[in-house]
Structure 1
Amino acid sequence: MRHARDGAAAAMSAASRILVARGKNEPQELENPDVGWGQRARDGVWVPTKDGQRVHIGIDTTAADTAAQVIRPSLRVFVGVDVDTDMVAQTTAGGVRLLTVIHGPEAPTEFRLPFALADGLALEAMPSGGYDVVHLRYGATVGRLYSPWACDSMFRSVKADYVLDGNVVTMRVAHEGAYYPVVADPLYSR
């Protein structure tokens, strides 16, 4: 079994390599006082919407009681949130990234993100494969879960998509045959 500190370093290293390869258009890690993290993976994160409300995104994994290693206020790592899986969670200017680092073929292919929405908000599927958080009364988009991407250690694209069941968004990552680690990126922004 890996030591927690070594696991956090490995997860951050894998995520960093992939993000650098993707280029400078990636949202940058930044402190955001409107984002509130829980202590454990199951506690998830509270994120802002454009209209001042908050959305809760949970992290539903087999090891949901995994405590966060807080590296700095805008970066935390959940080591071992599932079999062969870590999560590097970044706060950004408009929300959060939940960089899911898959270390091997035994890792799950589905990752559940339960959403708790304020009254009057709903998730609406977008043609891009992502979901908008929509204010039902005004029809305005007040937040967005961008379509996921995934990449293996050879910087090859790995198929990733979402399915919605009620208010639970499941990210599916088809990592079979990939070169590990694979990094998948759910990104929410207001």
Structure 2
Amino acid sequence: MRHGRDGAAAAMNAASRVLTARGKHEPQELDNPDVTWAARASEGVWAPTKDGQRVHIRIDCPAGDRTATVLRPSLRVFVGIEVDTDIVAQTTQNGVRLLTVIHGSNAPTEFRFPVRLADGLALEAMPSGGFDVVHMRYGATVGRFYSPWCSDSMFLPVKADYVFDGSAIVMRVPHHGAAYPVVADPLYAR
């Protein structure tokens, strides 16, 4: 079992390879004082909306009490949050990304991210497969969960999508038959 800095390094290596292959248009890691990370995966992160409110995104997993390996203020790794699964959590200029690194076929194919919104905000499904955070009074989009992308270690696309289940966005990644590690990218931005 991988753990600590060794596990964090393996997850970072996998995520970095895929992000590099995807090119320079990916959101870059950046320290953002409007983003607040909790210590544990189950407590998640608070990210800003365009109207000054916050979105609370948690990671619902068996090892939810696991603390992050903090590499920099804007980068942390939750090692072993699921079977054969790590999450590389990045702060970006406008939000957060939760790079889900799947290391083997025993990993789950669904990942739950419970979302709590401030009063007056709602999630609205978009044709792209993502979700907009909408200010109900004005009808304005104040944040967005972009549709997830996913790639295997051969840089081949792997299907990934979202469904909404109660108060959680569930990312589905049918990764069986892919070349591991597989990296999927839930991204939230204001």
TM-score band, normalised by shorter chain: over 0.9
Query: Partner of 1:180 in structure 2?
Result: 180
Q: Distance in 1 between matches of 2:26 and 2:3?
A: 30
Unmatched tracts of structure 1, length 5 or more = none
| Residues 11 and 88 in structure 2, CA contact (< 8 A), matched pair in contact too | yes
Q: Per-residue CA shift, 1:66-97, capped at 9, x if unaligned?
A: 10010000000000000000000000000000
Equivalent residues of 1:158, 1:178 under 8 A apart = yes
What corresponds to 1:67 in structure 2? 67
* Identity across matched positions, percent: 76
Please tell me the residue identity of whatever aligns with 1:174. P
SS of 2:21's equivalent in the other structure is: helix
Please report the TM-score for the alignment, with normalisation by the length of structure 2: 0.99
Where does residue 189 of structure 1 map in the other structure? Answer: 189
Query: Residue 188 of structure 1 aligns to which amino acid in structure 2?
Result: Y
Query: In structure 2, what is the equivalent of residue 103 of structure 1?
Result: 103
Q: Which moved more, 1:161-170 or 1:28-37?
A: 161-170
Deviations, residues 141-165 of structure 1 (Å, cap 9, x unaligned)? 0000000000000000000000002
**Distance in 2, Cα, partners of 1:58 & 1:41:** 7
- Aligned-pair RMSD on alpha carbons? 0.6
Task: Verify the 8 A CA contact 1:44 1:57 in the aligned structure 2.
Answer: yes
Number of corresponding residues = 190
The TM-score normalised by the length of structure 1 is 0.99
Gaps of 5+ in 2: none
1:5 CA displacement: 1.2
Q: Counterpart of 2:67 in 1: which secondary structure?
A: coil
Residue of structure 1 equivalent to 2:149: 149
Deviation of 1:4 (Å) = 1.7
- Against the structure 1 CA distance between its residues 66 and 125, is the aligned structure 2 distance closer, same or farther, given a 3 Å change threshold? same
Secondary structure of the corresponding residue to residue 63 of structure 2: coil
